[in-house]
Chain A
Amino acid sequence: MTTLIANELHKLRTIRGPWLLLAAGPVLVIVGVAGEVAGGADLTQPETAIHAVAHAGVVSLLTLIFGITAVAGEYRHRTITDTYLATPRRGRVIAAKFAVSTAVGAVLGLLLAITAVIATTVAVTANGGAFDLSNRDLWRTLAGGVACNAAFAAIGVALGALIPNLAAAIAAALAWIALVEGLIGELIGDLEAWLPFAGGQALGRLPGAPDISQWAGGLLLAGYAVVFAAIALTTSARRDIT
Chain B
Amino acid sequence: MLLGLVRPTAGAALIGGQPYRSLPHPRRTVGAVLETTGAHPGRRARDHLRILAQVTGVPDGRVAEVCDQVGLAEATDRRVGGYSLGMRQRLGLAGALLGDPPVLLLDEPANGLDPAGMAWLRGLLRDLADQGRTILISSHLLSEVAQTVDQVVIINQGRLRFAGPLEDLGDLEASFLRLTDAPKTIATRHQSLKDLP
Contact = CB atoms under 8 A, between A and B. Distances in A.
Contacts of A84: 4-5
A16 B42 CA distance: 7
A241 B44 contact: no
A241 B35 CA distance: 11
A10 interface: yes
Interface stretch (B26-34, B119-127, B143-151): B26-34
Given A3-B55, A88-B4, A82 B95 contact: yes
A17 B43 CA distance: 10
B56 A79 contact: no
Contacts of A134: none
A10 B38 contact: no
Interface in A81-111: 81-89
A77 B41 contact: yes
B38 A78 contact: yes
B6 interface: yes
Contacts of A242: 5-6, 36
A14 B43 contact: yes
A6 interface: yes
Please indicate which of the listed interface residues B36, B52, B55 has the most CB atoms of chain A within 10 Å of its own CB: B55
Contacts of B32: 85
Interface residues of A, number: 27
Contact of A241 (B6, B27, B43, B52): B6
Contacts, number: 76
Contacts of B4: 84, 88
Contact of B50 (A10, A77, A78, A86): A10
B38 A81 contact: yes
A89 B21 CA distance: 7
B108 interface: no
Contact of B52 (A77, A82, A238): A82
A241 B36 contact: yes
Interface in B41-71: 41-44, 47-48, 50-52, 54-57
A15 interface: yes
Contacts of A79: 38-40
Interface in A1-32: 3-4, 6-7, 10-11, 14-17
Contacts of A89: 21
A88 B27 CA distance: 10
Which range holds the interface residue count of chain B?
Answer: 20 to 34
Contacts of B5: 81, 84-85, 240-242
Contacts of B34: 81
B42 A82 contact: no
A82 B21 contact: no
A224 to B, nearest CB: 29
Contact of A3 (B30, B40, B54): B54
B3 interface: yes
A11 B57 CA distance: 16
A14 B27 contact: no
Interface in B2-38: 3-7, 20-21, 23, 26-27, 30, 32, 34, 36-38
A88 B5 CA distance: 8
B108 to A, nearest CB: 15
Interface of B: 3-7, 20-21, 23, 26-27, 30, 32, 34, 36-44, 47-48, 50-52, 54-57, 95
Interface of A: 3-4, 6-7, 10-11, 14-17, 73, 77-79, 81-89, 238, 240-242
